[in-house]
């Protein structure tokens, strides 16, 4: 999981981290194997993975109590193969099953068009996101 998170951020999110070492270091600091173990210990965080050929190629997380999608990263080698879309659908369905009528997330610049294509809409303002700017987004699930 750590490998997927770090590769996705490093290789796919250049528009967000601008290849600035300090932004990359800050963003990936908690994505190490120990950081991923710590994620499993967070109360209320649900982690999901997407697999292709028995290999983890996508990592997602939700916080149902907040109605929030917290993570959605894909291995660069698996991009445009439907894995991220399937993972997003699974997370949305999981939130809906937890009685979340409207979900929220913070999108990077890189992922914004992906979320728009999946029916997510922008909230009003840009927000700080991983040392740069992000977009608060929402989607009615029910």
Q: Using alpha carbons only, what angle is made at residue 94 by residues 81 and 84, rounded to the nearest 5 degrees?
A: 15
**Confidence (pLDDT) at 47:** 94
Map out the domains of the chain as residue ranges: 2-140
59 burial (CB, 10 Å; 0-12 / 13-18 / 19+) is buried
| pLDDT value at residue 23 | 87
What is the dotted CATH code of the domain comprising 2-140?
3.40.630.30
pLDDT in tens, the chain (142 residues): 999 999 999 988 888 787 889 988 988 998 999 999 998 899 999 999 999 999 999 999 999 999 999 999 999 999 999 999 999 999 999 999 999 999 999 998 889 999 999 999 999 777 666 666 789 999 999 8
Angle at 63 between CA 135 and CA 138, to 5 degrees: 35
Amino acid 132: pLDDT:
66
pTM: 0.89
């Amino acid at each position: 999981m750590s490998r997927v998170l770090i590769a996705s951020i490093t290789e796919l999110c250049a528009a967000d981290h601008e290849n600035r070492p300090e932004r990359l270091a800050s963003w990936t600091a908690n994505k190490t194997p120990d950081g991923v173990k710590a994620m499993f210990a967070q109360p209320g965080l649900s982690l999901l993975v997407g697999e292709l050929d028995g290999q983890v190629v996508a990592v997602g997380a939700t916080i149902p109590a907040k109605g929030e999608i917290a993570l959605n990263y894909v291995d660069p080698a698996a991009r445009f193969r439907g894995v991220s879309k399937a993972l997003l659908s699974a997370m949305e369905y999981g939130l809906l099953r937890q009685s979340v009528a409207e979900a929220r997330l913070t999108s990077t610049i890189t992922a914004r068009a992906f979320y728009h294509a999946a029916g997510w809409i922008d909230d009003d303002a840009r927000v700080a996101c991983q040392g740069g700017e992000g977009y608060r987004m929402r989607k009615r699930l029910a």
